[in-house]
Amino acid sequence: MPKRKSTHAEEPAAAAAAEPRRRSMRLQKTEDVPGPAAVSSKTGKQSVKKEKTSASDSKDEPAAKKSRSLKDMPETVAKKPSPPAKKTAKKNYWLLKAEPDTRYENGIDVKFSIDDLASRTEPEPWDGIRNYAARNNLRAMKKGDLAFFYHSNCKEPGIVGTMEIVQEHSPDLSAHDPKAPYYDPKSSASDPRWSVVHVKFNRKFPVPITLRELKEFGAAGKPLQNMQMIKQSRLSVSKVSAAEWEFLLGVVQDKAIKEYEARPPVCTGYSGTPDDDGDL
């Protein structure tokens, strides 16, 4: 049988047969202090890459041992970002009409004024709307929206106060009642056509804003020129923009101040006649 070719990995074994003691010392030295070009006993390749890695690890040892915890980081890095602020829901404004004077519909008095609303201890259903544009405005209302209370079909129509939407739309059950003022035989419980919202009293104005004044403010170039109530005067539920709402509240304040200043002074003192000594 031909002799197997020896490799570099087998040379230490041959030296061990001649000098077993020297072999032991040399191997011990080689294992304790790896040389720059150590040879793998399995592959015969030099592990130069491993030696470089070890040298690099030894050089960077202080940085490797340094621990970076959340506490050690700069405040700008360690501080957790705060959650984004919640956006406040946008509030919408409306105008709703009711009749403060007695009028009978289907044998029932439909009179309802702002004083009637103020006397309620529970949220009042705003029912009886039988116009699709007005109904759609009802359905667009959100809880927390505000609305002007408008007295209509009376001697002096106008805005008399404000109210708040406390419950969003639901089916108007009065439309299914034959005895109700605004009964609609075409509407059914399974397919309701009409809606109702619930409102509560907010405030009553000391001086109303009359329809005549609203028309003046609604002329071309005036603050209310685009107000839905002016453009669609027969609409019982209409939209009011935020700018129109603020303007009308300013008008209410100005009218209240003027009325207060126009009041005659009231004397509450004693109106006796002085005697001869000047005493009363």
pLDDT tens-digit readout, 150-169: 999 999 999 999 999 999 99
User: Cβ-count burial of 255 within 10 angstroms (0-12 exposed, 13-18 middle, 19+ buried)?
Assistant: middle
CA distance linking residue 134 with residue 98, whole number of Å:
13
Paired tokens of 53: 């890695």
Which residue, chain included where needed, has tokens 């077993």? 20
User: Cβ-count burial of 146 within 10 angstroms (0-12 exposed, 13-18 middle, 19+ buried)?
Assistant: middle
CA distance linking residue 23 with residue 10, whole number of Å:
13
pLDDT of residue 273: 55
Q: What is the dihedral of CA 108, 113, 116, 122, to 10 degrees?
A: 90
pTM: 0.65
pLDDT of residue 179: 94
Q: What is the DSSP letter of 182?
A: T
pLDDT of residue 15: 45
- Which residues, 6 or more positions from 36, have their beta carbon under 8 angstroms from its beta carbon? 48, 51
Q: Does pLDDT of 263 surpass 90?
A: no
**15 or 194: which carries more pLDDT confidence?**
194
pLDDT tens-digit readout, 30-48: 455 455 544 444 444 454 4
10: pLDDT confidence band, cut at 50, 70 and 90?
A: very low
Short-list 20, 18, 22, 55, CA closest to 36: 55
